[in-house]
Structure 1
Amino acid sequence: MESVEKIKVVAALLLVVVGIAGYYMVPADQGVLRVLSVVLGLAMAGAMLWFSALGRQFVDYARDSIKEAQKVVWPSRKETWQLTGVVFLFVGVLALFMWAVDSGLAWVFYDLVLGRGK
């Protein structure tokens, strides 16, 4: 990254910091101005990054991500409900299995080994 791009990124970060500092510098009873200072700082930082190489790379990445998400074949409603049912059934069976193992081990250790059940 060349020095001009680094300066843009640092300036954007400073704008965010200035916006947050403005929030704390404005009196508490001026809630709208406090929020406006943060929003304005973020907007100015976004504008600064928008015109940097890093911002352009991010926009290109976001566009490519949206294109890839559009290529995904999403399951139908019926398939979604069927898979959800399978997951719930598996969780139920696993819970019963873990309960059985826990109860069995508790019986072995407490009743047989330690003799506390007598």
Structure 2
Amino acid sequence: MLVLAALLALLGIFGFYTLSSQGALMRTASLAGGLIAGGGVALFSPAGKEFIGFTKDSWREVRKVVWPTRQEAGQTTLVVFGFVLVMAIYLWLTDKTIEWAVFSLFLGWK
């Protein structure tokens, strides 16, 4: 079934390029028809049914998630920005200290 779906999709693509002398509407309809037919056949295959089941289970799990409130999201964002600022200052100081140690103490450059 998946091979048939791929063939239908390829047939739509082939039709798009074969109908180059036709109008854009006809070419686009050929492409869309092939892709939609291929997708429809793929969804009715065993792998497609398994994919549909996986999608339904995933959606069911997403609905169980407890999303943060606007205030919680804002506070978490501020904490992250604060941590990034502190780490940036720490890394800058560490870099300047190592630079000073290497160039001034070890190499004697001024």
Give the structure-2-normalised TM-score.
Answer: 0.86
Structure 1 residue runs without a partner (length 5+):
1-7
**Which stretch shows the higher mean deviation, 26-35 or 52-61?**
26-35
| Corresponding residue for residue 88 of structure 2 | 95
Shift of 1:24: 3.4
2:93 and 2:72 map into 1 onto residues whose CA distance is 32
Shift of 1:57: 1.1
Shift of 1:29: 8.6
| Corresponding residue for residue 76 of structure 1 | 69
**Which stretch shows the higher mean deviation, 57-66 or 46-55?**
46-55
Kindly tell me the number of residue pairs found equivalent between the two proteins.
110
2:31 and 2:103 map into 1 onto residues whose CA distance is 61
**Which stretch shows the higher mean deviation, 35-44 or 66-75?**
35-44
Give the percent of matched residue pairs that are identical in Structure 1 and Structure 2.
Answer: 38
Residues 1:21 and 2:14 aligned together: yes
Structure 1 pair 9–114 and aligned structure 2 pair: CA distance change class (3 A): same
Shift of 1:30: 4.3
TM-align CA RMSD: 1.9
Shift of 1:93: 0.4
1:23 and 1:80 map into 2 onto residues whose CA distance is 47
Shift of 1:109: 0.5
| Corresponding residue for residue 66 of structure 1 | 59
Give the structure-1-normalised TM-score.
Answer: 0.81
| Corresponding residue for residue 109 of structure 1 | 102
For residue 46 of structure 1, what is the amino acid of its counterpart? Answer: G
Shift of 1:40: 2.0
Residues 1:52 and 2:36 aligned together: no
